[in-house]
Structure 1
Amino acid sequence: MTTIVLKKTLLINLIFKTHLDIGFTDLAQRVIENYFSNYIPRAIQLAKELRESGQKERFVWTVGAWLIYQAMETASPARRKDLEQAIEMGDIVWHGLPFTTHTELMDASLFRHGLNYSQKLDQRFEKKTIAAKMTDVPGHTRSIVPLLVEAGIEFLHIGVNPASTPPDVPPIFIWRHPSGAEVIVMYHKGTYGDLMIQENLDCGICFAHTGDNQGPPSVKDVLTTYSHLKGLFPEADIQASTLNAFSRKLRKIKSTLPVITQEIGDTWIHGVGSDPGKVSRFREFSRLRNRWLIQGTTAAEQEAIDRFSDRLILIPEHTWGMDEKTHFPDIVHYSTDELRKVKDTQKAKIFETSWAEQRTYLSQAQQALGQNRFSREIQEALSSLTPVHPDLNLWTRINENENIPVDSYTLSIDPCIGAITDLSCANGRKLATPEHVLGLFRYEVFCKTDYDRFTRQYLQNLDKNGSWAFPDFTKPGIEKIIKSHREILPILDGIYRYREKDNEILLRLHMPDEAVETFGSPKYIVLTLRIDPAKTITVTLDLLEKQACRLPVAMWFSLNPPVEKPERWQLMKMGQFISPLEVIENGNR
């Protein structure tokens, strides 16, 4: 905890909190059951015990809204009554967000759904939530700002994972969106939350966190926290408080705060690449869901979509399986061949179960829809996402060394690696050139040198955090398996034109044996191009027969058309365009 000595009397808002990981420390279902059956009742009892003891010290537990909402929905009548009483007494409070998420993975409507949990609880208990918190994930997209404001949120606290480089922002600032919407943001860098005193304010905030999924503290821990703060600030009024209470205080100094208008972004978003199949289904589900909402629904259909959304929103929650360093601390069996030796062990099976559990959120979402037009659309979408070997009897092979006319376009394909090296329109415009190819697949293999660079660039406070940060963020022992960085390209087997529709071209490729057998790449790659009369080019990529491995690898599919002003590229995040050139230093650049 930061030591600050002030002479003036002040109010310290003491926030008791634990960090919710829906998974990581255990299987997600066990984690949630432990909160419902153990942690929430313990927190209620702790607050009651301190109140009835006659001491001044109190306990108020702050959690994300999703946890309280779900507890209310699933609790027994007796436990629900206890929780309701604790809420009415002010012992249990929620903030405006459901839990910590990768916000960039969501669309705006799903983020709004997450905000609805606190709004529903507010309505039920006649409260007004104006503050929210994210923990662990170092940053988020600016696109959430107008959505927070829309939901009445004025203050967002972000506590950063201790080993991760935080964005270069002030400790407290106004985050302003181009629309004019703005929220006050407080950053605690290198900690989930700490002590912060504002010089021009008569109060401060202090977080008393327990560890990941550790639940509420003990009575002794609570009293020790008060005692420690009293030692630092003998004249201070130290009160168990809420983010809402502190947020109301911040209104007094809002006009004096610095303003940040830049994008921050999520430097932890690499986790999204760990399960392409799950993410592709999630994105398809999200697209369909958004379309249904735009089209309009009946009351019954909206209820089905809400049930669907309750499961779908668990995908962008920031936990993507159990903690490897704790549950599968194997630094030897990385390669495809080595992994086969341990994949059937009990530890490996349990660890893998945590990934399967994450994928079940999608099947649960599908089941929650019931039988209706939505469920049929979902099933059709899932079928289209299943990679299959093409029936080449339906296709005619064409010469890979010749230009290929398709509608009003002409294509040239690299005869070795299968990338499009020329795509010319009838008007002479070029959408691909040898320097700006389209459809290039690459399989990248990382080595210790890459991790050393990553460590220098991103990890921090390793003197304190190295014991867990190195196994968390790197691959210990990888230097014994992979000696150098590799980028492996596919080999073109053939180019085909669809017999029934001459506007469809298929490329069949395979990867070198070493890439497949040692590094776990897909064995076959199928690329289908379709140019419709509206001049839209649709690209479908199928990856087939990939072997499991634990090596640090990445699959890239490049679309790099030549443009006159590349600085005008923009990223779409939650339905809003953001220039990569306006990302703040140490944000997601």
Structure 2
Amino acid sequence: MNVKSTYVMLCCMLPFWVKSQPMEEYNTKVREVIVICKTHFDIGYTHRVNDVVNYYQTEMIDRAFKVMDASGDLPKEQQFAWTLPGWVLSKTMEDWKGQTPERRQKLDNKLKSGQIVPHALPFTMISDFCGLEEMARGLNFSSALCRKYNLPLSHSGKMTDEPSHTGALATVLAHAGVKFLHIGCNWPSGFVKTPGLFWWEGPDGSRVLTLYSASYGTNCAVCPKGWQGPNDPMMGVNLMPAKDWPYAVWPAILVTGDNSGPPTAERIKELFQEIKEKMPDVNVHMGTMDDFYEALMKDNPQLPVVKSAMPDTWIHGIMSDPGGVRLSREVHPLISSAEVLNTQLGVWGVPVASVSKDIATAYEKMALYGEHTWGGSKSVKAYGEAFEKLPADEYKDLEASWEDKTGYIRDASDIVQGITQSNLYSLATNVTCKKNSFVVYNPLPWKRREW
């Protein structure tokens, strides 16, 4: 067979060969894709705590402004919007020495226009360790911002990295008006097998809609490919929905890596172009987690119910700080007693100053101690004698980051101890009693018989 006849035969076979190639399949059930852009925030991992807050207030938010401005010529539904946790955004929005009037005005404008979006949660918390009160008070940062700017309160939240949470979290969120929670895992820590999208029911029967992903978001379009959790049927590709997703609306949750800031405007544009070409009949637009919840609920979906707590595989940070944990266990009952006694003293006519701001600061410090980041990112891979031979420069920053972490609960303890001592002094000096007697305050709501 000569070359010419071989060429003719190959050309004749080409249509059959092309036909035999499997066509790329897309989810035909999905009619709407809501694109939600986030960054994973670590409070003290890539930077020391004070440095990372300043980084949020300057370089990171300035880069976000550039992405927003660069997308200004795109159709409205493709213009970049960035979702941030309440505490992080609160710190970014606050006035600080060095803030410029231009940045201040831009922050206000972008928040009012919906291009900066606060979600309900303050940051990722180790909910198995946190008390109910700091979990609830952690929602104040987002709600205070929304009220200040006359914006609707956020009804959704997201936590990333921490793969496991207490069932009480569902109860706290549901009673606070949070309707949707996305949990995106740090997959090497061991993610929990769930139905993916489900009603998470707390101990009292209250529920929050929960989407559980084996990776940071519902895809790996803006983070390293190796970060995708294995065998997760709820993971999509770029903005495309997961093939087995059974609902009409898909949340394309894009999450960039640890404190890395927003994706580029070019990348967002590429992703929109790709899905428009591959799924031209689908309504694809930038949005929020609230948008997803509302769109999903319109179809009244039948969802599985999960009533269990999740076994925590992220608890090693807490286990590394027994001194801080001891302080935390002491502070939790003491802070509520201090607040109650201060209120009672006022009711009884004893002149006392309000402690509400100090109590709020203490709870903020307690919540930050329960935030999921435990130490800096630099690992020291030496142990025993090998470690002792290392120069101090090799580990001083890592040890300092541990001190930053324990410093939160030390500060909270100092605040609460100060309030307690002041309260008890005011009580003792205003109670009529015999000389050399003891004044005992019982913070419990029932009488103690053994006294």
TMscore range, shorter length? 0.7 to 0.9
In structure 1, the partner of 2:157 is 132
In structure 2, the partner of 1:18 is 39
The answer to whether structure 1 residue 100 and structure 2 residue 121 are counterparts is no
In structure 2, the partner of 1:437 is none
Determine helix, strand or coil for the equivalent of 2:71.
helix
In structure 2, the partner of 1:204 is 250
Find the partner of 1:309 among 351, 363, 383: 363
Determine helix, strand or coil for the equivalent of 1:163.
helix
The answer to whether structure 1 residue 183 and structure 2 residue 231 are counterparts is no
In structure 1, the partner of 2:136 is 112
Find the partner of 1:320 among 356, 361, 374: 374
Tell me the TM-score normalised to structure 1 length.
0.59
Q: Whole-Å Cα distance in 2 between the matches of residues 375 and 66 of structure 1?
A: 30
The answer to whether structure 1 residue 246 and structure 2 residue 300 are counterparts is no
The answer to whether structure 1 residue 121 and structure 2 residue 169 are counterparts is no
Q: 1:337-486, aligned counterparts within 5 Å? A: 337-342=385-390, 344-365=391-412, 369=415, 372-374=418-420
Determine helix, strand or coil for the equivalent of 2:369.
coil
Shift of 1:268: 1.1
For the Cα contact (< 8 Å) 1:9–1:235, is it kept in 2? no
In structure 2, the partner of 1:142 is 167
Report the residue type matching 1:340 in the other structure. Answer: E
Determine helix, strand or coil for the equivalent of 1:119.
helix
Q: 1:532-571, aligned counterparts within 5 Å? A: none
Q: Whole-Å Cα distance in 2 between the matches of residues 189 and 232 of structure 1?
A: 25
For the Cα contact (< 8 Å) 1:366–1:375, is it kept in 2? no
Shift of 1:231: 4.2
Report the residue type matching 2:144 in the other structure. Answer: K
For the Cα contact (< 8 Å) 2:80–2:115, is it kept in 1? yes
Find the partner of 1:154 among 157, 179, 183: 179
Q: Whole-Å Cα distance in 1 between the matches of residues 302 and 77 of structure 2?
A: 34
**Taking structure 1 as reference, are residues 356 and 349 closer, same or farther at Cα in structure 2, changes over 3 Å only?**
same
For the Cα contact (< 8 Å) 2:120–2:157, is it kept in 1? yes
**Taking structure 1 as reference, are residues 4 and 163 closer, same or farther at Cα in structure 2, changes over 3 Å only?**
farther
Tell me the TM-score normalised to structure 2 length.
0.75
Q: Whole-Å Cα distance in 2 between the matches of residues 232 and 287 of structure 1?
A: 57
Q: Whole-Å Cα distance in 1 between the matches of residues 56 and 274 of structure 2?
A: 28
In structure 1, the partner of 2:11 is none
Report the residue type matching 2:166 in the other structure. Answer: T
Q: Whole-Å Cα distance in 1 between the matches of residues 152 and 374 of structure 2?
A: 33
Shift of 1:253: 4.6
For the Cα contact (< 8 Å) 2:39–2:257, is it kept in 1? yes
Q: Whole-Å Cα distance in 1 between the matches of residues 75 and 168 of structure 2?
A: 47
Determine helix, strand or coil for the equivalent of 1:15.
strand
Q: Whole-Å Cα distance in 2 between the matches of residues 65 and 187 of structure 1?
A: 21
For the Cα contact (< 8 Å) 1:17–1:208, is it kept in 2? yes
Report the residue type matching 1:354 in the other structure. Answer: S
Find the partner of 1:233 among 271, 279, 283: 279
For the Cα contact (< 8 Å) 1:163–1:190, is it kept in 2? no
Q: Whole-Å Cα distance in 2 between the matches of residues 267 and 294 of structure 1?
A: 36
Report the residue type matching 1:57 in the other structure. Answer: Q
In structure 2, the partner of 1:84 is 108
Q: Whole-Å Cα distance in 2 between the matches of residues 199 and 349 of structure 1?
A: 48
**Taking structure 1 as reference, are residues 173 and 353 closer, same or farther at Cα in structure 2, changes over 3 Å only?**
same
Query: RMSD between aligned alpha carbons?
Result: 2.7
Shift of 1:237: 2.0
Find the partner of 1:172 among 188, 197, 209: 197
**Taking structure 1 as reference, are residues 133 and 254 closer, same or farther at Cα in structure 2, changes over 3 Å only?**
farther
Determine helix, strand or coil for the equivalent of 2:183.
strand
Report the residue type matching 1:223 in the other structure. Answer: K
Report the residue type matching 1:228 in the other structure. Answer: E
- Which whole-Å deviations, capped at 9, do the CAs of 1:179-211 have from their partners, x for residues lacking one? 221111111124443335685543211122211
Q: Whole-Å Cα distance in 2 between the matches of residues 226 and 338 of structure 1?
A: 52
Q: Whole-Å Cα distance in 2 between the matches of residues 167 and 54 of structure 1?
A: 39
Shift of 1:255: 5.0
Determine helix, strand or coil for the equivalent of 1:35.
helix
For the Cα contact (< 8 Å) 1:200–1:253, is it kept in 2? no
Between 1:197-206 and 1:39-48, the stretch displaced more is 197-206
Write 1 or 2 for the structure with the bigger share of strand: 1
**Taking structure 1 as reference, are residues 73 and 160 closer, same or farther at Cα in structure 2, changes over 3 Å only?**
same
In structure 1, the partner of 2:439 is none
- Which whole-Å deviations, capped at 9, do the CAs of 1:91-138 have from their partners, x for residues lacking one? 000111100010111111111111111221221222121111111111
- Which whole-Å deviations, capped at 9, do the CAs of 1:7-47 have from their partners, x for residues lacking one? 46622111111100112222222222111111112212321
Determine helix, strand or coil for the equivalent of 1:134.
strand
Relative contact order, higher structure (CA 8 A, sep 6+): 2
For the Cα contact (< 8 Å) 2:68–2:81, is it kept in 1? yes
In structure 1, the partner of 2:82 is 61
Find the partner of 2:67 among 28, 37, 46: 46
Determine helix, strand or coil for the equivalent of 2:111.
helix
Report the residue type matching 1:281 in the other structure. Answer: L
In structure 2, the partner of 1:277 is 323
Shift of 1:349: 1.1
Q: Whole-Å Cα distance in 1 between the matches of residues 292 and 339 of structure 2?
A: 36
Write 1 or 2 for the structure with the bigger share of helix: 2
For the Cα contact (< 8 Å) 1:13–1:241, is it kept in 2? yes
Q: 1:22-41, aligned counterparts within 5 Å? A: 22-41=43-62
For the Cα contact (< 8 Å) 1:109–1:290, is it kept in 2? no
Q: Whole-Å Cα distance in 2 between the matches of residues 226 and 53 of structure 1?
A: 11
**Taking structure 1 as reference, are residues 29 and 9 closer, same or farther at Cα in structure 2, changes over 3 Å only?**
same
For the Cα contact (< 8 Å) 1:23–1:322, is it kept in 2? yes
Q: Whole-Å Cα distance in 1 between the matches of residues 247 and 158 of structure 2?
A: 21
Determine helix, strand or coil for the equivalent of 2:181.
strand
Q: 1:323-334, aligned counterparts within 5 Å? A: 323=377, 327-328=378-379, 330-331=380-381, 333-334=382-383
Report the residue type matching 1:90 in the other structure. Answer: G
Report the residue type matching 1:307 in the other structure. Answer: T
**Taking structure 1 as reference, are residues 274 and 377 closer, same or farther at Cα in structure 2, changes over 3 Å only?**
farther
Q: Whole-Å Cα distance in 2 between the matches of residues 50 and 163 of structure 1?
A: 35
Determine helix, strand or coil for the equivalent of 1:105.
coil
Between 1:33-42 and 1:60-69, the stretch displaced more is 33-42
